[in-house]
Amino acid sequence: MTRWLVDGMNVVGSIPDGWWRDRQGAMARLVQRLAELRSQSGETVSVVFDGRPFELDAGAVDVAFAPTRGRDAADDEIARRVAADADPAGLTVVTSDRALSERVRHHVAEVMTAGAFLRRLDAL
């Protein structure tokens, strides 16, 4: 069973739907879709966002915000989680960020692009 670790803002930013006008709304919509994946598949789903934390109705989805601010803050948190995982080969990191992809592949985690992941969500 896949364990998903999602680069939240990378996925949100891959959809040119005006997300930048309602960043929190876009984040909430992604979390709802991730909860649907979790519900239908039983797979573990975690997402890490950049930015100031706020309350999200996440259901069984693990939602985290990068503990620091600045460029690549969520990437650093995702890479840290992969490196600390007891079985990083069982993780699939969702990102289209090349640098983050290289960092997590170094720890043998799988990578799926944001576009491929969104197509998977659309198929639910």
pLDDT of residue 27: 97
Please tell me the pTM assigned to this model. 0.96
Which residue range is the domain that position 19 belongs to? 3-122
What is the average pLDDT score of the chain? 96
Tens of pLDDT, residue by residue over 58-87, are 999 999 999 999 888 999 999 999 999 999
Q: Is the pLDDT of residue 56 over 90?
A: yes
The structure tokens listed for 30 are 């992604």
- CATH number at 35 reads 3.40.50
How far apart CA 14 and CA 90 sit, in angstroms, is 25
Give the pLDDT mean for 30-38: 97
Give the pLDDT mean for 96-116: 97
How many structural domains is the chain composed of? 1
The structure tokens listed for 49 are 């966002």
